[in-house]
Chains A and B, each alone.
Chain A
């Protein structure tokens, strides 16, 4: 009989290996899923994982997209990873992302059509502020009333979506847009544009911000007492209080980090790749970033890699959509599956299987 047994201490090897195992298992299970949908599984996997990078016909379009899509994912996931380490669950990053975009865009559009170079920095600040304020709602409710932050932050996503619809149809609607919903194009207005910095790479200010956040998080988590305190708060809340870590402070800091970074991600998206505020501006980066954070083991370098991988599945998914007619939803299910496998294999780092001759349970 196989028996599960707790390891005396977590295995570093398995902690690093589980994401790779999870990706492999997802490819196999995803292949089965695609086969059920009547697609050639090998081809589907190839289109999703390899063609975006190596197929010459599409690579010129697809390669830059990798950073474009990975940027917001990494930025948001880094912010979430702080809280997830501490057992503070902000799962409403999608809402903070939307609010960052709305606030940033609104501040920018207030100056239209000025070409003042300070407008873009001002928008960046407004975007961060927007995401931060939206994140502060669950944070402050948790601190003062002990309200469950999971539910509040998530419910606020739906509220933010309604606000997004409202401003696209009203407040921020392009007066010259012929009555169509959506704001002016921010990407084509120089003062607010977040352009591709190096042609052909997809690198824009949001990607730069993502890289900076990875480095910052790495230093904080490995060298600073804050990293120890985060881990402490998550693994042993009583020990944290004994050590003098104030739980309210942790909630505040973690929601600040995730709110600001999600707000920034929204701002860089609306001024760059998306270009305008519209009803369907948000595409679920805030939720996918949760998968990215876990897949990256809540570790900055891991998140960087996981963000790139997730971006790849997005692009590959789009590719598979028009090359193989694979439905868009398939890739979403595929990403969810990845998280399942990761959680399943996760146990290997804390437990090990033992053969036992007699024990039945």
Chain B
């Protein structure tokens, strides 16, 4: 295996969870815990796939996926923000529903081949040894993922909007008392998270696999959720985490292909086991684990007056 190929594959393998996780980070920073990432991802996967196949345009496919994911997240948004339902239960419901719903839409698309997503062509730049293939010759969505990390980081840190979002996630009663529209801000965050998860799902079905199969996200949404905890709600750490898990995935697939004398099942379960391990390491350090956690995470907001 060449390091170059491995790193190139890593960039692709990490993109779906990166997209989903950066979206969920924004949602959680606003004080909402949406456990339905898996459901939104798989919805995005089939919406993106279906739109891309029907129109022949991967770009439209990705847009469709973002819209699909956002629409899905709005079910969660309405239930938790207006009808004040329990966020854990509603997130689970979103995942269960998303898995069924996507399978339903996807029936006719099993076995089809999506139009291929064009890769960036920077001419001579893409031909630079090592850097070219690893960094400069991917499709645009890979760069979109990286741009989102930078954008979310800068927005949360430097913009007034980002500050208001953090304030809402920290203490919704105080934000309300100052006149901020807690519910509206959270709905926007939830929609953004849904769109990102949708994009991540579509990246699986349109680029990484590329095919549609039922339940194809196979826990990627849950790994994205774990990633947010791993990253202590910091955007750049989400990127590092996504690369780490992308690396493990690529490595285990390569080991499987190379026929290493380790049971295939053990290799397949390794991303999940390592995710658990990382969660344990992060959570065992109590001070660090809570340092950046939004104080209002998962709490129900109901303005008394």
Contacts and interface: CB of A to CB of B under 8 A. Distances in A.
Interface of A: 4, 6, 33, 37, 89, 91, 141, 144-148, 150-152, 154-159, 162-163, 165-166, 170, 287, 290-291, 294, 327-337, 339-340, 343-344, 346-347, 350-351, 361
Contacts of B280: 141, 145, 147
A337 B97 contact: yes
A123 B275 CA distance: 32
B107 A151 contact: no
A189 to B, nearest CB: 26
Contact of B84 (A162, A330, A347): A347
B128 interface: no
21 contacts: A4-B84, A4-B302, A37-B104, A146-B289, A147-B279, A151-B276, A154-B222, A155-B219, A155-B222, A162-B265, A291-B93, A291-B96, A327-B104, A329-B100, A330-B100, A332-B100, A336-B93, A336-B101, A344-B79, A344-B83, A347-B84
A291 B226 CA distance: 23
A343 B265 contact: no
B283 interface: yes
B236 interface: no
B269 interface: yes
A270 B140 CA distance: 48
Residue in A144, A154, A330 whose Cβ sees the most chain B Cβ within 10 Å:
A154
Given A145-B280, A332-B103, A343 B269 contact: no
Contact of A158 (B82, B107, B269): B269
Contacts of B104: 33, 37, 327, 329-330, 332-333
A4 B92 CA distance: 25
A343 B89 contact: yes
Residue in A144, A147, A335 whose Cβ sees the most chain B Cβ within 10 Å:
A147
Contact of A336 (B100, B275, B283, B304): B100
A122 B301 CA distance: 50
A151 B279 contact: yes
Interface string B211-243: 000100011001101100100000000000000
A290 B94 CA distance: 12
Contacts of A145: 280, 283-284
B55 to A, nearest CB: 21
A327 B107 CA distance: 8
Contact of A333 (B35, B89, B97, B276): B97
A158 B265 contact: no
A347 to B, nearest CB: 5
A156 B271 CA distance: 11
B75 interface: yes
B219 A287 contact: no
Given A336-B94, A336-B100, A343-B90, 7 more contacts: A91-B92, A141-B279, A155-B276, A163-B265, A329-B101, A336-B99, A337-B97
Contacts of B275: 151, 155
Nearest to B226: A151
A71 B289 CA distance: 41
Contacts of B219: 154-155, 157-158
B120 to A, nearest CB: 33
B123 interface: no
Contacts of A163: 265, 269
B268 interface: yes
Nearest to A342: B93
A341 to B, nearest CB: 10
Nearest to A89: B88
B85 A347 contact: yes
Contacts of B35: 150
Contacts of B160: none
B263 interface: yes
Contacts of B153: none
A351 B84 contact: yes
A327 B109 CA distance: 13
A6 B305 CA distance: 11
Contacts of B98: 336
Given A4-B302, A6-B302, A162 B268 contact: yes
A339 B263 CA distance: 39
- Sort A-B residue pairs by CB-CB distance and give the 5 closest, nearest first: A336-B97, A332-B100, A329-B103, A333-B100, A166-B265
A159 B273 contact: yes
B182 to A, nearest CB: 11
B272 interface: yes
A312 to B, nearest CB: 17
A330 B105 CA distance: 9
A331 B103 CA distance: 10
Interface in B253-305: 263, 265-266, 268-269, 272-273, 275-276, 279-280, 283-284, 286, 289, 302-304
